[in-house]
Amino acid sequence: MFELALVTAIVLALVGVGALLFWVPWAALATAGAVLAVVGVLGGLPSALLYHLRLRRVLLDTGALPARWWLHPTPHHQRIDDARRRWVLVPFYLGAAGFALILAGCGLLAVGVWRSPYGG
């Protein structure tokens, strides 16, 4: 029963988003997309920087700071002790949410430009 409700919610959300993209004027889509992307950058980048600085601090404290750890930092989450896990991971999740806003904003902006008189 839960699966049926989940599938129904997803289908309704996709239909709703499709209808919204069809009926909302292109300029409003482009503006909303640009605003979402800017909000994502302004919120996500500082959070991501804070996350990397905090993770670096934890890895230095444990004596386990590998070379180029920042290229793929998520495997090092297992080295965070329980007392500081939330301290490190809250900025991680905020940065990920900012990245999702950037992607959604770029998508809306692209649809708005595509639907404009100057687009495809």
Domain range list for the chain = 37-120
Specify the long-range contacts of residues 56-61, CB closer than 8 Å, at least 24 apart. 58/84, 58/88
3-state helix, strand, coil in the chain (%, to 5): 85, 0, 15
State the average pLDDT over residues 74-93: 94
Q: Is the pLDDT score of 120 beyond 70?
A: no
Give the tens place of pLDDT for each residue, 21-64.
Answer: 889 999 999 999 999 999 999 999 999 999 999 999 999 998 88
State residue 41's pLDDT score.
Answer: 98
25: left (phi over 0), alpha (psi -120 to 50) or beta: beta
